[in-house]
Amino acid sequence: KPAAPVPAKVLSRRRLIADDAPGDVQHIIMSLPKGLHYVEGQSLSVIPPGTNPQTGRPHKPRLYSIASTRYGDDLRGNTVSLCVRRAEYVDPQTRKVDPTKAGVCSNFLCDMVPGTIVQVAGPVGKTMLLPDIGNSNNEKANQQDIIMVATGTGIAPFRAFLRRLFLENTVAKQMYQGQAWLILGVSVTGGLLYADEFERMQQPSNTNWPGQLRVDYAISREMKNQQGGKLYVQDVLSEEAEMLWTKLEDGAIIYFCGLKGMMPGILEALEDVAKARGKVWSQTLRRLKANGQWHVEVY
């Protein structure tokens, strides 16, 4: 449970997606209140101002995955970054956005101007933590492959992971010898998040060996799967089943983050992958969970 709220100041906010991409996703950098420390994979609780008109009580806090490493985007360790999609409700009859049903907190965050004071609490979360990479006593973590599957703003914790492993000049970056594999699903190319950063991370100067960071995009409205249908993240897993299975058998950790609706299709695809190899998926999943190889955070 997060501690009592503390004030954080908005330093900057920028739209992350192209103007013609559907919706609105913003990258928000806030100053870190004194005494608040976080690590990659944790979440921050944000309390929107005002009261709920139905109850007259203060709004409930909303949790957002942190999109920066412990050092923040400025590398000084005194900021925190969030990746926020504006929650809008489109009326199916009129096809127009109904402002009365807008997400209170996401709209507050996506409209903030620099200098705004925001009440935050946390950090919280142990589900999505990275292994202890960069510890010379933990050779396993330094060699372990990491698979990250995200839809939309579920990219937030993985941006933090990848900045730690490929952009920031830390012991973790120097000692990491495993392969990181990111699969990101969005609807259109203009909706890709942080693609320029991931491209930079793949440069030879940022990796310890060629191909150490692999990035696959599933752009559903523009790409087709092998059956000719829309390409989703689970199709990438199916099409790369051999590599996926080998990695999991060899001890890779797999993380999933994004909308709840992504998991049924993914689990179905993995069941087929297991079946094709004469394995029972439910037993495999139990083993992955027991070994700490399976991490899911969906909302």
| Domain span holding position 211 | 139-298
Binding residue numbers for NADP(+): 65, 85, 153, 220-221, 230, 258-259, 297
């709004």: which residue's tokens?
59
Among 71, 94, 124, identify where a domain stops. Answer: 124
32-56 pLDDT, tens digit each: 988 899 999 999 999 998 888 888 8
Binding residue numbers: 65, 85, 153, 220-221, 230, 258-259, 297
Please give the structure tokens belonging to residue 256: 């999933």
Q: Is 110 a catalytic residue?
A: no
Which residue is catalytic, options 83, 105, 110, 257?
Answer: 257
Among 124, 153, 186, identify where a domain stops. Answer: 124
Q: Is residue 277 part of a domain?
A: yes
Checking if the pLDDT of 93 tops 80, the result is no
Which residue is catalytic, options 43, 45, 65, 68?
Answer: 65
Residue 241: which CATH number? Answer: 3.40.50.80
Q: Is 65 a catalytic residue?
A: yes
- 34's CB contacts (< 8 A; 6+ apart) are none
Residues 79 and 143 both lie in one domain = no
Which residue is catalytic, options 38, 64, 176, 194?
Answer: 64
229-247 pLDDT, tens digit each: 999 999 999 999 999 999 9
251-264 pLDDT, tens digit each: 999 999 999 999 99
Q: Is 105 a catalytic residue?
A: no
